[in-house]
Structure 1
Amino acid sequence: MKNENLRVAIQGIRASFHEEAALKYFGENIQTIECNSFKQTFEALKDKNADYVVMAIENSIAGSILPNYSLLLSYAFPVVGEIYLPIQLHLMALPGVKFEDVKNVTSHPIAIRQCVDFFDEYPHLNIIESNDTAACAKRIRDEQLTDTVAIANTLAARLYGLDVLERRIESNKKNFTRFLILTHHENVTKTHPNKASLCFQVSNKVGALAKVLNIFAEQSLNMSKIQSMPILGKRNEYNFYVDVEWDDAKHYDTAIRQILKYTQNFNILGEYERHDDENEKLPKTVKNVKVPRTYINMKKMG
């Protein structure tokens, strides 16, 4: 997807994985709106300070980012797309720093968890958690830290002038994060969706959820994701977040009509085209992706 001058809100700063995902989905000519939290990205969209939000929802190793499911429901912005990003993690430091002189390693806790095998070999290193991978790289540059390395992507190394000491330190080389694309209702354009994100509740009775899942199977819908979340203040009651895919839209329409009989508070969070990367040899590097020239920091906007 190629778009110019779109304002895209991300959690984190320039050269974060969220920005990398935004570049992959929208192309290079975007304005990146830096936000301190996922909630702030939704607020930027709500206040019309952003046209789109790119938000991580799950990682193939760390699993689902549960608080983000609650944001999907509470803000009710439509999901209009998705992107799967291969997560390649590198160890980077100021130019001239040698690995044997390093005492501290800093990164996002999820990134650290994805590199446990590497750090098991260096138990003397002090692990420092932070809220953003790229921010860790920037801090090393800004504070000229010679005893600290960051775990981040190649975009961060280039943008903040760091040397990569060790490449691909993630434990699983087939590590992906799935990002959702959200926007205002008026920005939704007609496409040919073949995937939907749904949210609903079922009664607390034997077989209630099974009835819904059987309908998906009977209509030849592939359920690619199911996630349950407790409803605050209600004992033994859950929201179920389900992603389904289809080849024939008629089957999807029939399934929706049927499951409405067995669900409560049914919501279609979004209908969109699933991300197919069959022709890409993933994971791949991002060495040919340029960092966008413009960005907006929500902290500066007040």
Structure 2
Amino acid sequence: MEDLSKLRQDIDRIDRQIVELFEERMGVSRQVAEYKIANGKKVLDRARELEKLETLGNLTNDSFNRHGIQELFQQIMAMSRKLQYQLLAEEGVSGNLPFTRIDHIDRKHCRVVYQGVEGAYAHEATLQYFGKDANAFHVPTWRDCMEAIKEGVADYAVLPIENSSAGEVNDIYDLLEEYDNYIVGEQILKINHALLGLPGTSLDEIRTVYSHPQALMQCSVYLDKHSDWQRISLSNTAMAARKVAEDKDRSQVAIGSPAAAGYHGLEVLEMPINHNRFNSTRFIIVTNRKMYEADAKKVSICFELPHTSGSLYNILSHIIYNDLNMCKIESRPIPERNWEYHFFVDFEGNLDDSAVKNAIRGIMEEAVNFKILGNY
């Protein structure tokens, strides 16, 4: 058996050769990029890469090495593409990003739509972002919000996209993919749920609790202590408060905000009743215009992927390779295509940044149905 130190020397020698050959290969990739720039050709040639991987796999002696060499060269080819994307960016060929930079959103002279009624958390987020004198109106559903800005009835919509306790709001992700509307801002709202009832209501009288499903979930620990209370979901916390006020039935209560109690003449019976004391909801500000503020710091994108091994890894590597910090990733099923998904990714950066342009160029070329959801 060979001495371990001798074997390590052999590995070091082979590794040096691999590094030299890698640098030689990247030098040729640079020349390929220069040719493609000069002749207007796309960086990714999927058919050529698959053919090349098959040929390289056939050069190995067993199935283990075949798989390994194909995985290795997938990464080498990905690195070659990233080099080519960088060179394209340096030449000013950064792809079509039809977003207009603005100094700031005019929050005073605009019309805003939110889902629910006055006193809803979306209403509160609207007032925090656009000011207490915001020209705002409400509609029954989130889809109605998207339709309102699509048609120009409103300039902006305020929509909840995730809660720190209950997670993402799936319907909003689906609507972002469906509509040609874009995120231009966000508002984090601290959520302190209150138990709301008719003035003078005691806990012993309560039989039914109304609220939004997420609010019920965020207060589940408290509600579990009152197992005889029936929980009924409504489309909005403030609508639940309004129902209790209109029914004038002391056996009914709502879970909502203290503001909702004020709007609907109810009393705060207990507060806070959410089990996470740091409970917050992130609302996004959406418009039908492709624009972003000059100091925007986060980019949201969505895309589909070929149903092949490593496709998500290869896409995300564009974010990693350009030294960008990914904040979030979500997936949503594609209707009528079982087990295939839309991916939603947030990462830090501004559309003016060269690293962001380079990452987007790579993802745009390699993903399917790519869309920039916004920079904010």
State the TM-score, normalized to the length of structure 1. 0.85
Structure 2 residue aligned with 1:232: 335
Question: Superposed, which structure 2 residues align to 1:82-93 within 5 Å?
Answer: 82-93=186-197
Q: CA deviation at 1:9?
A: 1.1
* Alignment counterpart, residue 185 of structure 1, candidates 282, 289, 298: 289
- In structure 2, what is the equivalent of residue 297 of structure 1? none
* CA distance in 2: counterparts of 1:28 and 1:102, whole angstroms: 34
8 Å CA contact retained: 2:199, 2:266? yes
Q: 1:235 to 1:3 in 2, by over 3 A?
A: closer
| Structure 2 Cα separation of the partners of residues 235 and 132 of structure 1 | 31
Matched, 1:198 2:301: yes
Which digits, 9 at most, give the CA deviation of each residue in 1:97-141, with x for residues without a partner? 222222221111110111111111111112222111111111222
Asked if the contact 1:6–1:29 (Cα under 8 Å) also holds between the matched residues in 2, the reply is no
SS of the aligned residue for 2:132 comes to coil
Q: Secondary structure, in 3 states, of the residue corresponding to 2:303?
A: strand
Of 6-15 and 138-147, deviating more is 138-147
Deviant stretches of 4+, over 3 Å: none
SS at 1:85's partner residue?
strand
Distance in 2, Cα, partners of 1:174 & 1:267: 32
Q: Which residue of the partner structure matches residue 113 of structure 2?
A: 9
Residue identity in the other structure for 2:340: E
Could you give the per-residue CA deviations for residues 68-111 of structure 1, whole angstroms, max 9, x where no partner exists? 11211221111101111111100111112222222221111110
Q: What SS does the aligned partner of 1:9 have?
A: strand
Supply the AA of the counterpart residue of 1:239. H
Question: Does the 8 Å CA contact 1:137/1:160 hold for their aligned counterparts?
Answer: yes
Aligned to 1:19: 123
Percent identical: 36
> Which amino acid in structure 2 is aligned with residue 228 of structure 1?
S
Inter-CA distance 121–234: structure 2 relative to 1 (3 Å threshold)? closer
Residue from 312, 319, 322 that aligns with 1:209: 312
1:47: Cα distance to partner?
2.2
What secondary structure, in the 3-state scheme, does the structure 2 residue paired with 1:165 have? strand
Deviation at 1:189, TM superposition (A): 5.5
1:165 counterpart residue number: 269
Shift of 1:210: 0.3
- Contact 1:91 1:152 (C-alpha < 8 Å) held by counterparts: yes
Q: What is the CA–CA distance in structure 2 between the aligned matches of 1:189 and 1:204, rounded to whole Å?
A: 33
Structure 1, gaps ≥5 residues long: 273-302
In structure 2, the residue matched to 1:64 is 168
> What is aligned with 2:326?
223
Partner of 2:345: 242
Aligned length: 271
Check conservation: 2:292, 2:375, Cα contact below 8 A: no
> Which residue of the partner structure matches residue 132 of structure 1?
236
Q: Which moved more, 1:248-257 or 1:71-80?
A: 248-257
Q: Is the 8 A contact 2:186 2:285 kept in 1?
A: yes
Verify the 8 A CA contact 1:5 1:29 in the aligned structure 2.
Answer: no
For structure 2, the 5+ residue unaligned runs are 1-104
Higher strand share: 1
CA distance in 2, matches of 1:258, 1:44: 34
Q: How far apart, in 1, do the equivalents of 2:106 and 2:358 lie?
A: 34
Superposed counterparts of 1:220-299, under 5 Å: 220-246=323-349, 249-272=353-376
Q: Equivalent residue of 1:185, what SS?
A: coil
Find the residue that maps to 1:97 and give its secondary structure.
coil
Match of 1:30 among 134, 137, 141: 134
CA contact (8 A) 1:3 1:29 kept: no
CA distance in 2, matches of 1:270, 1:24: 21
Instruction: Look up the equivalent residue of 2:237 and give its one-letter code.
Output: T
Indicate if the aligned counterparts of 2:303 and 2:370 stay in contact, CA closer than 8 A: yes
Instruction: Check 1:189–1:129 CA distance in 2 against 1; reply closer, same or farther (3 A cut).
Output: closer
- The answer (yes or no) to whether the contact 2:242–2:264 under 8 Å persists in 1 is yes
CA distance in 1, matches of 2:201, 2:187: 35
**How many Å apart are 1:190 and its aligned residue?**
4.4
In the alignment, what sits opposite 2:73? none
Give the Cα–Cα distance (whole angstroms) in 2 for the partners of residues 70 and 196 of structure 1. Answer: 18
Instruction: Name the residue aligned to 1:52.
Output: 156
Do the aligned partners of 1:94 and 1:146 also contact (CA within 8 Å) in 2? yes
With normalisation by structure 2, the TM-score equals: 0.69
Q: From the CA coordinates, give the structure whose radius of gyration is larger.
A: 2
